[in-house]
Amino acid sequence: MKFENQLTSLARLRAAALRLLLTGSLATCIAHRPASAQMPDLGLLPGIQFTGNSTYTSGPLGGYQSNIVLGDHAKLAWSGGCNWIVYHSGNDSLWYDAAYLDGGMQCSITLQYGWGRNPSVSVNDYGFMVEAHNNTGSDAYWNGNDVWYSGGQLMGVAGAYFSPPQYLDPNAWTPSVSINNNEVVVEVHQQANNNSLFYRVGSYNPTNSAISWGTSFQYDTGYSPCVCLDRTTNTLVEVHNDGSGSNKLWYRVGKVNTSSKTITWSGATNYDNGYWPSVAVNNGKVYETHYDGSLEGSLWEHVGYISGSSIVLSRASYYDSGDWTQGGPSISADNAGVAAVHNGGGTSIFINFE
């Protein structure tokens, strides 16, 4: 199998990443890392410059914008305010960019970690990480109908350690995964060839990065699901496109039962129109971003908070524009602030943060 054939190559990539720490700019970055990292003031940082030049944009999520890397279907996660990781795909290959921010210093490493499409990534405040993606296939858009996953550890500019990829679900598209500080993991996906939405609950083992999964359950119908656990509780928010083919966007609030590995869901609430929604939750506060309902490439955001089984949301605010044909935006948040990535056209990936 193609993934199995890559295990030796992936091991070599991890070894090469560690060797890079001993020389060059990455070693310099590690030398400057404080013993106890301070949360940066994101409003004062000049931007995250993996590659390319930074440009300032206006709007609530305008903040600073950087062209960070080339690819598509980018997903963002960050941990502890300073450690960032961006996952993206291109030509059926999977890549990540890791960075550590220290008073505005930008450092990064870019490595291929596997083969597939539609990656999703989540990191908790301890650097424990979960990744999920579709395998490669013959379909030009979805490129594979099975979901694979890996556990791992984010190591700042050293990159990331991954356990070998594991098979999770057949006939599943666009997986979304989330891990919180309680080492609870939730994965959602759309069933291939229909609009059924399914979830699984798992538990992360920090000693070996293994994940013990529960049973898969259908919870709704729709497209392009995205899920995020609150970092400190087992409450979550899920968003998705309407299952009838309209451009309506819906959310559900859920509570994980770790004993039964099930979720108690609220009813679905229509909160806006659009496509490719993404959601982040931090200490009860909710951040959502999506492309507009006219498919003209406008990016919009909502901010709100969880109130019981519902969410109190602000009106939508425009913050940027991008290329919706290359995947949706991805938003992430912790106590330091909020950031979102999107494809800006062609293969250029941009990041915005407050």
10-residue stretch averages of pLDDT, the chain, 354 residues long: 37 34 28 27 27 31 48 69 63 74 52 83 91 72 74 76 88 93 97 92 95 97 96 96 89 98 98 95 94 83 94 90 85 83 74 70
For the chain, give the secondary structure using H, E and C. Answer: CHHHHCHHHHHHHHHHHHHHCCCHHHHHHHHCCCCCCCCCCCCCCCCCCCCCCEEECCCCCCEEEEEEEECEEEEEEEECCCEEEEEEEECCEEEEEEEECECCECCEEEEEEEECEEEEEEECCCCEEEEEEECCCCCCCCCCCCEEEEEEEECHHHCEEECCCEEEECCEEEEEEEECCCCEEEEEEEECCCCEEEEEEEEEECCCCEEEECCCEEEEECEEEEEEECCCCCEEEEEEECCCCCCEEEEEEEEEECCCCEEEECCCEEEEECEEEEEEEECCEEEEEEECCCCCCEEEEEEEEEECCEEEECCCEEEEECCHHHCCCEEEEECCEEEEEEEEECCEEEEEEC
Task: Round to whole Å and give the CA distance between 226 and 39.
Answer: 27
- CATH 3.30.110.30 applies to domain 2-353: no
What is the per-residue pLDDT for 327? Answer: 83
Both structure tokens of 166: 């594991």
Instruction: Report domain extents, the chain.
Output: 2-353
Task: Round to whole Å and give the CA distance between 148 and 199.
Answer: 14
What is the per-residue pLDDT for 83? Answer: 59
Task: Round to whole Å and give the CA distance between 127 and 344.
Answer: 28
What is the per-residue pLDDT for 50? Answer: 28
Burial class (CB in 10 A: 0-12, 13-18, 19+), 126: middle
Going by C-alpha positions, the residue among 197, 125, 134 that lies closest to residue 154 is 125
Please say whether the beta carbons of 122 and 101 come within 8 A: no
Cross-strand bridge partners of residue 122: 130
Task: Round to whole Å and give the CA distance between 43 and 88.
Answer: 26
Residue labelled with tokens 């995250």:
48
Going by C-alpha positions, the residue among 159, 162, 113 that lies closest to residue 18 is 159
What phi and psi values does residue 244 have, to the nearest 5 degrees? -90, 0
Both structure tokens of 110: 């870019």
What is the per-residue pLDDT for 157? Answer: 60
Task: Round to whole Å and give the CA distance between 46 and 154.
Answer: 23
pTM for the model stands at 0.80
What is the per-residue pLDDT for 114? Answer: 82
What is the per-residue pLDDT for 99? Answer: 65
Going by C-alpha positions, the residue among 158, 60, 42, 72 that lies closest to residue 111 is 158
Both structure tokens of 117: 């499409």
Going by C-alpha positions, the residue among 51, 52, 157 that lies closest to residue 109 is 157
What is the per-residue pLDDT for 140? Answer: 39
